[in-house]
Amino acid sequence: MKRFNIQSPQRTIETMLVDKINNLTKPKGSLGTLEDLALQIGLIQQTLSPELHHPQNIIFCADHGIADEGVSVSPKEVTWQQTIHFTHGGGGVNFLCHQHGFGLKIVDAGVDFDLPYQQGIINMKVRKGTRNFLREAAMTSEEMDLCLTRGAALVKMCEDEGSNILSFGEMGIGNTSPSSIWMHLFTHLPLQQCVGAGSGLNNFGINHKLHILQQCVDNYRGDGSAADIIRYFGGYEMVMAIGAMLQAAQDHVIILVDGFIMTACMLAAMQLYPEVKQYAIFGHCGDESGHQLLLNAMGAYPLLHLGLRLGEGTGAICAYPIVDSAVRMINEMESFQKASITKYF
């Protein structure tokens, strides 16, 4: 399996960062989360004057064999239809990228369709959809390694284009199912608390989904390691996102984490390399059942609560202006000394 070298940010600069933040013209702590973000970003970049360059959103697209079991209200063909739709600029992720100045990369990680790559879709297809993990492993070890490697390569591509902050999104009908199983197996929360409506299941549909996923967990006969659980239940787009997150952390690139599926991917990435979390900013708490519980279990504090559950990276992109504000705070606010203002706290 592809290896990464992820180290915690060095803390030698921390005292100087805290001192700079505390001596801006405001009461200590009065800008709350902005101060926390400025400290985190300063540590990631190892500078007292952090900068954000060329934000991009990578959306990974793939199909899931488990969708054949009726665990999603949306038909499978929506994956390829939406993937093509993104290239036309009319999706939810598109207007937010336009609004906030994000580049957008659309990646075929494993869509069950022959996509028109000439329209700008990046072809990194591993296979036309994962296998049905009710009956067998979703992917082979070789396919998992390929996903990690290709996800890492996409981050390198973005870095070559000047990016030092990235968000990741997904498109894949059925992908809340592997996310729920990862959540259950990695946090040990009851499966029932991890399973929600996905793209809109009613109560009957949720109960059916829970029943199917419980069978999947009961049928699992792997070795129980984090890597094996990721391989057995994961989607190609999800494991590719894990590879991207791990490469970003290795290279000290800021990771904006999106909704339930991408939070589950960060959870899985943490099982392999716990240090990856220190490079992550959690954009929002979505409306998918279990997302708040998952964030709580990870000790993660999201920036926004907007009731979103679209995926695609939309919530992470919505949170970007707050991150930008934190960087502007530490760079553009004057110190008490420079402004000739007496400290008033």
342, two tokens? 């007496």
Amino acid at 200: G
Q: How large is the angle between the packed helices 226-233 and 260-272, nearest 10 degrees?
A: 150
Amino acid at 189: L
Distance of CA 210 to the CA centre of its chain: 24
Q: How far apart are the first and last CA of the chain?
A: 53
The span from the CA of 188 to the CA of 263, in Å, is: 16
Cross-strand bridge partners of residue 123: 108
Q: Which of 267, 256, 233 is nearest to 144 (CA)?
A: 233
Catalytic option among 35, 237, 288, 312: 312
312 catalytic per annotation: yes
Cα torsion angle, 255, 258, 263, 264, sign: negative
56, two tokens? 């991009």
Catalytic residues: 312
